Amino acid sequence: MTSPKLNIATKFSSFSNGVAYVVGVVAKGEKVILADTAVEVSTIEQLDLSLLGAKSSLESVTRLAAPNGAVYLLIGLGTAELDSTALRSLAGAASRNLAEFKEIVFGLPTDSKEQTAAILEGSLLGSYQFGAYRSLNKLAPVQLAKITVISAHKPTPATLARAEILSESTSAIRDLVNSPANDIYPQSLAAAVQKLARGTGVTVEIWDEKRLAAEGFGGIIAVGKGSSRPPRMVRIDYKPKNAKAHLAFVGKGITFDSGGLQIKPATSMIGMKYDMTGAATVANAAIAIAKLQLPVRVTAWMCIAENLVSGTSTRPSDVIKIRNGKTVEVINTDAEGRLVLADGLSIASEAKPDLIVDVATLTGASSIALGHRYTGLMGHGLGVEKAKAAAEAAGELVWHMPLPADLRVSLNSDIADIANAKFGAKGGMLLGGLFLQEFIGKKAKGNDPIDWAHLDIAPSANNDQAPWGYNAKGPTGVMLRTLVSLAESYC
């Protein structure tokens, strides 16, 4: 899909045939009324909007005829403050409902350049569709060619370009995650990212299974042993000459997770193609940061394997050695994501970056704790506060969870340095974080561990509920914007 042209108009001009005009509605007593808007609304301002089906509840939408063959989309603004996050979400909801239109004009109220940019960004994100595998009942192609916001607050060209880059990178994540595991497997995922990276100023290096074994990546090798399609490690490195800091992103890339020998129930295997979302996210974050030419070095590590069942699969109670030399007793073959991440965190630590952030659909326990929209955040040093601030700036939801030292005993092994899980233990999300913490190296100076943030996106990576904001059903691309915002915080 070609990115639509982004346009800012200082005032309303006239209605055009086939164009959708987005106007907010709010509650006033028992009535639904039009919110402040720069769009001409004289033909509908005297109507009883409630009788026409309009609702003020957040993101509810109603279409009405406008002059000259145009269409009004009335969207409920709810009762919350209309900040950039709310406007981004509202614009996304509007675009999801206007997929057949070539042009959308937004008449939502704005108070700043940031709010204008948020509307454009949300509209781009909301217009995403994935129809690559449909032959019958094809989705109507997205025809959106132009997005206009009527506002006195005009963003800079650089801000508009940023919105386009974030949208393109989010769409790239969604495309990879939507694709089935018979097409996206370790080798093809590595090749796809290599293709996405062309011409962006990053270098891409790929470890095959022989190199992984030779260089001590025992976690990735162990997880990938059961598949006929061997594992891969991919490094994406953006290294500007004027870099002010070095960030390392590490992503879980399980292209399909059967659970291994401790196989998942049938229904729990549905959707396990999504288990590579973390790797897709960190790769596209690095590429987006390179496109934005931020003066920050970023090294992204994609830890890619397919967790399947065969005579060569890793067994429960096997002991493996991770890149940093620590041994792990594999108690649960379905706790495989932390094994590949252990290798990724180990090699990322070797470069002594200023901050390590890992992104992973790590635990089902995080969804039990946080529902469907929040990402679990754990870590130490400056990692947590930096990630929280970046998520807030990006308008994404994170919730800080602890790493209680008293739970570490649950991961003790009788024969190895650590076990990867313990059946029946409480605090599954926290145990995942405690395990990963063992593989964060020391800072270049002193004995303190490298600042680190762990983002468990299992709750938020895939929207299996009703569409909301700029998210249809399916992959959300969550945390891409947070990682970019994090890099910007070092500029």
Domain edges within the chain: 5-154, 163-488
Query: Which residues on adjacent β-strands are paired with residue 71?
Result: 20, 65
Question: Once rounded to an integer, what is the mean pLDDT over residues 203-212?
Answer: 98
Give the pLDDT score at 137.
Answer: 66
CA distance 217 to 206: 13
Question: Once rounded to an integer, what is the mean pLDDT over residues 186-205?
Answer: 98
Q: Tokens 């879980």: give the residue.
A: 252
Query: Which residues on adjacent β-strands are paired with residue 140?
Result: none
Q: What's the token pair of residue 6?
A: 């982004």
Give the pLDDT score at 134.
Answer: 80
The CATH number assigned to the domain with range 5-154 reads 3.40.220.10
Which residues are designated catalytic?
264, 338
- Ranges of beta strands (E only) in 308-360 are 319-321, 327-329, 355-360
Question: Once rounded to an integer, what is the mean pLDDT over residues 99-104?
Answer: 94
Give the pLDDT score at 122.
Answer: 98
Domains 5-154 and 163-488 belong to one CATH topology: no
CA distance 82 to 93: 14
- 413 burial (CB, 10 Å; 0-12 / 13-18 / 19+) is middle
Judged by DSSP in three states, 232 sits in strand
> What one-letter code names the amino acid at 260?
G
Q: What's the token pair of residue 119?
A: 């509307």
Phi, psi of 166 (to 5 degrees): -65, -40
Question: Once rounded to an integer, what is the mean pLDDT over residues 388-405?
Answer: 98
Q: Tokens 């994540």: give the residue.
A: 173
Torsion of CA 485, 285, 378, 330, to 10 degrees: 180
Q: In degrees, to the nearest 5, what angle opens at C-alpha 488 toward C-alphas 484 and 490?
A: 125
- 26 burial (CB, 10 Å; 0-12 / 13-18 / 19+) is middle
CA distance 275 to 270: 11
Instruction: Report the Cα–Cα distance between both ends of the chain, in Å, rounded.
Output: 31
Q: Which helix (H) or strand (E) holds 150?
A: strand 146-150
CA 381, chain centre distance (Å): 23
Please name which of 165, 101, 85, 145 lies closest in space to residue 468, comparing C-alpha atoms. Answer: 85
45 neighbors 64 (Cβ within 8 angstroms): no
Q: What is the DSSP letter of 381?
A: T
Give the pLDDT score at 409.
Answer: 97
Average pLDDT, the chain: 96
* DSSP-H helix ranges across 183-276: 186-197, 209-214, 218-224, 266-269
Indicate if the pLDDT at residue 131 is higher than 90: no
Question: Once rounded to an integer, what is the mean pLDDT over residues 54-83?
Answer: 96
Judged by DSSP in three states, 446 sits in coil
Q: Which helix (H) or strand (E) holds 63?
A: strand 61-65
Question: Once rounded to an integer, what is the mean pLDDT over residues 135-140?
Answer: 67
Q: In degrees, to the nearest 5, what angle opens at C-alpha 84 toward C-alphas 249 and 282?
A: 10
Question: In which band, very low, low, confident or very high, does the pLDDT at 138 lie, cut at 50, 70 and 90?
Answer: low
Question: Once rounded to an integer, what is the mean pLDDT over residues 9-38?
Answer: 96
Give the pLDDT score at 304.
Answer: 99
The CATH number assigned to the domain with range 163-488 reads 3.40.630.10
Give the pLDDT score at 142.
Answer: 62
Indicate if the pLDDT at residue 135 is higher than 80: no
Q: What's the token pair of residue 308?
A: 């399947």
Give per-residue pLDDT as tens, 214-227.
999 999 999 999 99
74 neighbors 27 (Cβ within 8 angstroms): no
Question: In which band, very low, low, confident or very high, does the pLDDT at 143 lie, cut at 50, 70 and 90?
Answer: confident
Label the pairing between strands 375-380 and 398-400: parallel
